[in-house]
């Protein structure tokens, strides 16, 4: 079985944010991720990680758009300056929180101009932060309409074009299922690029029990292929988080 991490932006939402770190540790998680850790005191979050002995796996870049705009703009040709400004801001947070990975969100876009902008911005970012490990993640357009990086073949193309040792694939099993309908086949083609894995059940994006995704088979494939990173639980609990964590100990049912 893989090692599991808790996405604290989704799990333990019934608790105040700073209490979620201790709750994750008490539930048996060894690591956590926070999608947008920009609104709470950074040192307080770092203290919670240390006190609870938790690895910090991942955070997103850029910071959220307070005006309700798109999440990410790395693929927006007209926003290169803003991308660089906000990437540097994310690095300041990462300097305290010390995540293993920073997920660079493409945001909306289409066509060759968006592809070229994303490649240019990723090449700049990987050179700007050579000691940071960055990821890109295909996200399905059912959940995020208009998102540019919505395909695993496109992600592979981008990774090959940038060709940076500190850039890898963030493989979300839920998104892979929604994009391709063939989770195992998609992993077979692209799993060798994956540095971080996320999961949720479908339909509903709830616990990884029941539904359309055969997680026992997927986890067995991860083990067989020697994947040694974390698998982050990024789902909306049906009730309380603790009530739905049986899958951690017995293995998810497909």
**Could you confirm whether 137 is annotated as catalytic?**
yes
Q: What is the torsion angle, in degrees rounded to the nearest 10, for the CA atoms of residue 219, residue 172, residue 102 and residue 120?
A: 130
Strands (E), the chain: 3-7, 31-33, 55-56, 58-61, 101-104, 134-136, 167-172, 194-199, 230-233
**Could you confirm whether 212 is annotated as catalytic?**
no
Task: Determine which one of 26, 33, 120, 137 is catalytic.
Answer: 137
Rounded Cα distance between 167 and 20, Å, is 29
Nearest residue to 60 (alpha-carbon basis) of 74, 77, 81: 74
Q: What is the DSSP letter of 113?
A: H
Beta bridge partner(s), residue 199: 233
The CA–CA distances, whole Å, from 196 to 42, 64, 99, 134, 229 equal: 23, 21, 12, 10, 6
What does pTM read for this prediction? 0.96
Going residue by residue through the chain, which has 254 residues, state the pLDDT in tens, using 9 for 90 and above: 899 999 999 999 999 999 999 999 999 999 999 999 999 999 999 999 999 999 999 999 998 776 667 789 999 999 999 999 999 999 999 999 999 999 999 999 999 999 999 999 999 999 999 999 999 999 999 999 999 999 999 999 999 999 999 999 999 999 999 999 999 999 999 999 999 999 999 999 999 998 999 999 999 999 999 999 999 999 999 999 999 999 987 654 44
Is residue 148 a contact partner of residue 109, using CB atoms and an 8 Å limit? yes
Kindly list the structural domains of the chain, giving each domain's residue range(s) and its CATH number in brackets, ordered by start.
3-250 (3.20.20.150)
DSSP letters for 198-222:
EE--TTTS--SSSSS--HHHHHHHH
């Amino acid at each position: 079985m893989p090692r599991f991490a808790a996405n604290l932006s989704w799990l333990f939402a019934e608790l105040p944010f700073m209490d979620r770190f201790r709750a994750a540790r008490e539930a048996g998680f060894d690591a956590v991720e926070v999608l947008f850790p920009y609104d709470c005191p950074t040192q307080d979050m770092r203290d919670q990680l240390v006190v609870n002995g938790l690895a910090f796996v991942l955070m997103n870049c850029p910071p959220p758009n307070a005006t309700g705009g798109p999440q990410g703009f790395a693929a927006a040709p007209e926003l290169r300056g803003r991308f660089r400004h906000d990437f540097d801001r994310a690095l300041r947070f990462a300097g305290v929180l010390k995540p293993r990975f920073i997920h660079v969100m493409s945001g909306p876009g289409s066509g060759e101009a968006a592809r070229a902008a994303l490649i240019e911005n990723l090449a700049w970012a990987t050179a700007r932060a050579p000691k940071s490990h960055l990821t890109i993640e295909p996200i399905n357009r059912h959940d995020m309409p208009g998102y540019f990086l919505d395909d695993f073949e496109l992600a592979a193309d981008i990774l090959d074009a940038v060709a940076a040792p500190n850039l890898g694939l963030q493989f979300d099993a839920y998104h892979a299922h929604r994009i391709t309908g063939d989770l195992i086949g998609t992993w077979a083609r692209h799993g060798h690029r994956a540095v971080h894995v996320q999961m949720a059940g479908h339909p509903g994006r709830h616990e990884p029990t029941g539904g359309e995704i055969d997680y026992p088979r997927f986890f067995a494939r991860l083990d067989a292929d020697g994947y040694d990173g974390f698998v982050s639980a990024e789902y909306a609990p049906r009730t309380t988080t603790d009530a739905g964590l049986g899958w951690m100990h017995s293995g998810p049912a497909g």
